Amino acid sequence: MVGRLGVFREGDGEKVEERITLSHGSGGRKMMDLLEEVVFPALGGGSPWSAEDAALLEFPSGRLALTTDSFVVQPPFFPGGDIGKLAVCGTVNDLAMRGARPLYLTLGLILEEGLPLETLRRVLCSAAEWAREAGVIIVAGDTKVVGRGQADGLYINTAGVGLVGEGLEVSISRAEPGDLLLINGFVGDHEVAVLSCREGLELKVQVESDCAPVASLVEAMLAAGGVHALRDPTRGGLAAVLSEMAVASSVSLEIWEDRIPVREEVRAVCEVLGLDPLLMANEGKVVAAVHPGRADRVLEAMRSHPLGREAAVIGQVREGRPGEVVLVTTLGSRRLLRMPSGEQFPRIC
């Protein structure tokens, strides 16, 4: 049967579930009803009838940072987060890695025919909540609907704009020999959270995703001074980010395995599944290359922030072979830490 929004409804009696239909991507009345009754209310109000084709944005003087990203994850809800939170935090964090203060976001939706409306509402409400938490405004968006089997339920595409302070230069290519390498906490939490939910892993202690907006943490780090390079270790994990930094800055990195924060639950999952926590995705972590004379102040600033209480110094930038990352193991041996060449597991983000 067809409900008030023109959505397909499945079930009997009180167990009725409204779902997306192809007509919601037609550009007609049903699409406007979906926007007016579901999308706009979840994201903070307004009316699709008065929406413009482009937003006019106010900016103070200065340089702008711009980023874009796309988000696919199954299941869409997992311990500690969901695809809506992930989309907002991931985009905000990319801006923060250039030292930018995030200001505006766009949010594009690709919906699969049959997606429950309740799923869409939950995702959008979460995105709105975390946009408020991050201090950004969702100023534009788009909605498309594809047929059954043509999308994994729901995809989100974002763009983010932020403001870079005058004289601030933070880049993955600015790590210098002597810099200390800092991270703000445990690695691997996000990937284990998603895998445990999707694969039905029974853990004694549930691991939650670290998904969070780190812009305020980065702001505190920058205020302490001496931060040369920043990177968030998402897909590919810590190993990928360190390899990128070593190549981009034409330096060698030495990493100390016993200094890298890894939860025992994450380590246990990795041992059972044959995974490496250094290759696992994170969504609320920051790796920083910091001048050695400022590292103590930056570390103190990180540990004073809720997202940096487990911050640690995990290595140092060297003058060795450019692009080389050397891991000093817990046994004292040394081995090359290489950029991951493929997927450890089916993609999770």
- 3-state secondary structure (DSSP) of residue 211: coil
Residues in the chain: 349
Does the residue 169 lie in any domain?
A: no
The confidence score (pLDDT) of residue 47 equals 86
Residues 136 and 215 in one domain: no
pLDDT of residue 343: 61
For position 328, which CATH number holds? 3.90.650.10
Quick one: 154 and 219 in the same domain?
Answer: no
Q: Is residue 346 part of a domain?
A: no
What is the per-residue pLDDT for 201? 75
CA distances (Å), 50 to each of 44, 45, 53, 158, 306, in order? Answer: 15, 12, 10, 22, 40
Q: Domain check: are 207 and 140 in the same one?
A: no
243 in a structural domain: yes
- Residues 111, 24 share a domain: yes
Mean per-residue pLDDT pooled into runs of 10, the chain (349 residues): 53 64 87 90 86 83 92 94 97 97 97 96 98 96 95 96 93 97 97 87 83 98 98 94 96 97 94 91 97 98 98 96 95 90 58
80 with 112, same domain: the answer is yes
Domain CATH code at residue 100 = 3.30.1330.10
**Residue 1's pLDDT is what?**
36
Structure tokens at 131: 């946009």
Q: Is the bond preceding 60 in cis, omega lying within 30 degrees of 0? A: no
pLDDT digits (tens, 9 = 90+) for 217-256: 999 999 999 999 999 999 899 999 999 999 999 999 999 9
Contact call for residues 250 and 192 (beta carbons, < 8 A): no
The reported pLDDT for the residue numbered 115 is: 96
187/245 Cα distance (integer angstroms): 18
Residues 217 and 109 in one domain: no
108's enclosing H/E stretch is strand 100-112
pTM value is: 0.91
Q: Look up residue 39 and give its DSSP letter.
A: I
**Residue finishing a domain among 164, 195, 230:** 164
Query: If we measure between CA atoms, which residue out of 204, 210, 175, 184 comes closest to residue 280?
Result: 210
Is residue 274 packed enough to be buried (19+ CB in 10 Å), middle (13-18) or exposed (0-12)? Answer: exposed
Range of the domain at 136: 8-164
In this structure, the strands spanning 227-231 and 154-164 are unpaired
Cα 90 vs. chain centroid, distance in angstroms?
Answer: 3
345 domain residue, yes or no: no
**Helices 295-303/215-224 angle, 10° precision:** 150
Could you give the number of structural domains in the chain? 2
Order the strands of the 154-164 sheet from edge to edge: 63-71, 154-164, 100-112, 137-146
- 290: alpha, beta or left? (left if phi > 0; alpha if psi -120 to 50): beta
In a domain, 220, yes or no: yes
293 is a domain residue: yes
